[in-house]
Amino acid sequence: MIVPEMLGGGERDCKLLLLAAAVLVGIISSLQVAVRAEVYNVGDGGGWTTDTNYTQWAAQYTFREGDTIVFLYSRGSHDVLRVNQRDFLTCSASTPIETDASGETAFQLRAGGYYFICGFPEHCRSQQRVYVKVLPAVTTLPHQTAGGNLPAYTQSAEGPTSAATGMVPTAAPSAAARPRLSTHSLIVLILTAMLSLTCFAPRLKSV
């Protein structure tokens, strides 16, 4: 006769392993907060204005796909133009890709390089321009290298390497609003399910 039999002496060990797996899922879920999309105010507290070194500002951060940068400035005194590299290097506002002058411009990023200037006369030449290098989204923890250095003059004078989602003249979304996808929790859950089957599935035994 064939009867089902639970795993004997190893059942307690299996329960301990399942408990450990559950704790691991909780830890990974909490760590995922660190890889959610971020919101950056250009220039931090100084906002978008002249005589600010935005190269140094951008170098403090590693921008990832899904992040949002926000330009805060005095409406009527400044604006935001997204331009190609040539216009960025020459401070030309004649052929912008996108423009906004609302006073609060949110721009959601995709992987690539983005060039922004102020179109008001002489503002760009007074350092009101910023280059933002955007890396692909990641599923692991933290930023390791800074990004945003000015491009070399020997580089191709093309625009950004990837299409942008566009500037939005509204308040930026919450940093926690767009979590990046991660496979870590899924892997742990699959392993937990496999462990459950191994520990508690009936084992057939011929008697």
Q: Answer whether residue 161 shows pLDDT above 50.
A: no
Q: How confident is the model at residue 163 (pLDDT cuts 50, 70, 90)?
A: very low
Q: How far apart are CA 188 and CA 91, in angstroms?
A: 51
Q: Answer whether residue 49 shows pLDDT above 70.
A: yes
Is the model more confident about 48 or about 161?
Answer: 48
Among residues of the chain, what percentage have pLDDT more than 90?
A: 48
Residue 71 · residue 103 · CB < 8 Å: no
- Per-residue b or e along 136-174, where b marks 16 or more CB atoms closer than 10 Å to that residue's CB: ebeeeeebeeebbeeeeeeeeeebbeeebeebbeeebee
| Superfamily of segment(s) 37-168 | Cupredoxins -  blue copper proteins (2.60.40.420)
Is the model more confident about 3 or about 196?
Answer: 196
Question: What pLDDT is attached to residue 138?
Answer: 79
Residue 103 · residue 75 · CB < 8 Å: yes
Q: Is the dihedral of CA 122, 126, 128, 129 positive or negative?
A: positive
- The pTM (predicted TM-score) of the whole model is 0.59
Q: How confident is the model at residue 184 (pLDDT cuts 50, 70, 90)?
A: low
Question: What pLDDT is attached to residue 6?
Answer: 45
Residue 47, CA distances (Å) to 103, 132, 157 in order: 10, 16, 27
What number is the average pLDDT over the span 19-45? 74
Question: Average pLDDT of the chain?
Answer: 75
